[in-house]
Structure 1
Amino acid sequence: MQIPWQELNADTLQALIEEFVLREGTDYGEQEVPFATKVAQVQAQLERNEIVIVWSELHETVTIMPRDQLGQDFN
């Protein structure tokens, strides 16, 4: 089930985004991207509708995923 990010409490949304960024792991790119920047990037992707927040009743988990993967990986 998709959860509209606009309906979440601001603190809940912030915690969800931070948990997602931490779960994604380390960058290992040429330049390390600061945590706050990564959080802001995820927030911007939500606002642009590129990614969605999804609740899985089966797994009882919440995740953030690309919109085009909705229905493929998380039912």
Structure 2
Amino acid sequence: MLLIPHEQLSSDTLDALIEAFVLREGTEYGEQDISLGVKVAQVKSQLEANQLVILYSELHESVDIITKQQWRQLVKQGEIESDQF
């Protein structure tokens, strides 16, 4: 797995990646629906604050967004080298 710095992606690519991630996350069950645009902005903000990271899986040829805590667990398991972040 490779860490992809969000700053290295074009704005269009980053937006498409975030939008796909948000749509995979499922349905809102709260009292108030949040628009896709707001959700995308929230995820982008979390990426900029280093709360989320983008990973590319060479094995699955896929990209995913995970929390920094999930990333740390992958490092601990030896699936990712810690010097990537």
Answer yes or no: same fold by TM over 0.5.
Answer: yes
Pick the structure with more helix per residue: 2
The aligned counterpart of 1:48 is: 49
Residue ranges of structure 2 left out of the alignment (5+ in a row): 80-85
- In the TM superposition, what is the alpha-carbon distance from 1:60 to its structure 2 partner? 1.0
Query: Which runs of structure 2 are paired with 1:1-75 in the superposition (5 Å)?
Result: 1-70=2-71, 71=74, 75=79
Residue ranges of structure 1 left out of the alignment (5+ in a row): none
Matching residue's letter, 2:34: V
Taking the aligned partners of 1:29 and 1:4, their CA distance within structure 2 comes to: 31
Segments of 4+ moved more than 3 angstroms: none
- In the TM superposition, what is the alpha-carbon distance from 1:28 to its structure 2 partner? 1.4
Residue identity (%): 54
The aligned counterpart of 2:83 is: none
Aligned Cα RMSD in Å?
1.4
| Higher CA-based Rg | 2
Q: Deviations over 1:29-67 (max 9, x none)?
A: 111111111000000000000000000111111000001
How many residues get paired?
A: 74
